[in-house]
Amino acid sequence: MIFSSERTFFSVTNTYRVKNHTLANLYGSAEGISLTNIFFENLMQNNQSGLEELLNIALSSPWLFPKSRTLFPYLGMHNNLDALLQIMAHGSKKIMILGFNWHWQAMAQNNIFTLVRFTRTFNYIIVAGDELTLLVCIELNLPCYNASSYMLNYQQNVSMTQEGHFNDPYYLAMVWYIIPLYMNILRKGFTIMKSDIDISYAGKDIWKTFELMIGRTGADIVFMKETPINSGHFYAIPNDRVIAFFEEWIASQASFKTLNDQQVLAHLIGRTYMICNSTESCNRVKTVSMNRNRENRFRANKQESKMAAVLTYPSSFARFGSLCPPEKTIAPCDQDVLYVHTICMTGSLTKMNKLKRLGFWLMKDPCTETKLDIPFRSSKFINASLTRCVPMPRILPTIENSFLNCNNSN
């Protein structure tokens, strides 16, 4: 059934048939999309392309729509990575990867809404590392991938019943298990973009932005600058240097068991990668031999590898004199704002409140929770719930104007 906490949103009164573009262009075939009068009328008043906007509305908040393989053809593909990548890449070899756990449903919905609605990014997948997270992901109509086989190597003595805290066993399992998946997708020839779920996006073309960065410098990987880099969001192209970088990153966890993925990267600079900021400096990095662990079981071959050339860019908060988010609203169309990332703090509620302060929380409060009435591990139930949030622009459309009218000037 369609979720019904907001009567004005879910009083569906019109069905519109989609022809040779919009859904058909993205997925091959489609039959129809449903939407309320109030939102459709607003689209028409703003001279928007009705069918294109209807598509974007559905794909930016799939958790609010009924299950439909016509509308969401990725449903049911959660155990087939190649098929999921093929359909979600939409004919490209580019995919964004979002890590997800069931404790952060509202945060994930804010991330996905801003990603799809404002950056017009449709080529993404959601990675679920445990059975319950996967069940929640599927119930929310998301393009889920069952990565539990990857998590098995990291979840010893890990309890997933409560939210993880910084560098506790659950947190470390969550940040480490997904890196081998990045490597395997790179090996399939995909350019990847990774996004932490506590990121909220501005209205910029993020793929174009990173492609321009790579084009200007010849770098292999792009990270946000920190000390030395922040691993919460990155862009990586599929070449031998990058794959070797990921192989060494994964193997390094055995030597730094109490460190998270980002902390370990501080120990790998000068061994597996170097930072560069121009074509000349990046080309120079690519001539330097990588200091590889010869016993690394993840190595695809024993050949010598060259350093990965890593480009960094400043945080959206750098102009405020800190890596941490400021205590003020940020305009999403400011030139240096691709996204905001709630670093320097832990806990979903703390991060959510910070996104509100920054003006990047687009979900209407409160979100609605319903009990997850699905058997867990076939023999018992677990005390969990589904969270569904209504994006505020669905109720007050003008709220999103400051995000939709940006020009990508990066």
Report the distance separating Cα 276 and Cα 267, nearest Å: 17
The neighbouring-strand residues paired with 368 are 388
Chain segment 56-83, per-residue pLDDT in tens = 888 999 999 888 888 899 999 999 999 9
33 has a pLDDT exceeding 60: no
Contact 404, 120 (CB under 8 A): no
Q: pLDDT, tens digit, for every residue of 208-223? A: 999 999 999 999 999 9
Q: Are 351 and 198 in contact (CB under 8 A)?
A: yes
Average pLDDT taken over every residue of the chain: 84
CA distance linking residue 352 with residue 226, whole number of Å: 22
* Cβ count within 10 A of residue 381: 12
Ordered alpha helix ranges (H), 100-239: 105-119, 131-139, 148-151, 169-176, 179-187, 206-217
Residue 37: pLDDT over 60? no
Nearest alpha-carbon partner for 9 in 263, 405, 368: 368
What value does the mean pLDDT take over residues 381-406?
A: 87
Instruction: Specify the length of the chain in residues.
Output: 410
Nearest to 291, CA basis, from 311, 276, 310, 269: 269
Q: Which of 243-247, 251-255, 290-294 has the lowest mean pLDDT?
A: 290-294
Mean pLDDT (whole number) for 127-151: 94
**Taking a C-beta distance cutoff of 8 angstroms, is the pair 89, 207 a contact?**
no
CB-CB contact of 268 with 290 (8 Å): no
Q: Which two tokens stand for residue 132?
A: 């319950």
Query: Nearest-CA neighbor of 37 among 63, 5, 53, 13?
Result: 13
Terminal C-alpha separation, the chain: 42
The predicted model gives 360-387 an average pLDDT of 79
What SS3 state is found at 349? Answer: helix
Model-level pTM? 0.85
Going by C-beta distance under 8 Å and a sequence separation of 6 or more, which residues neighbour residue 13? 36, 37
Residue 35 pLDDT greater than 50, yes or no: no
- The pLDDT score that the predictor gives to residue 244 is 95
Residue 32 burial by CB count (10 A; 0-12/13-18/19+): exposed, middle or buried? middle
Cα(248)–Cα(271) distance, integer angstroms: 9
Residue ranges of domains in the chain, CATH in brackets:
7-404 (3.90.550.10)
Does the structure show a pLDDT above 60 at 18? no
Tokens in use for 97? 């990867």
d(CA 52, CA 49): 6
120-60-132-162 Cα dihedral, nearest 10 degrees: 90
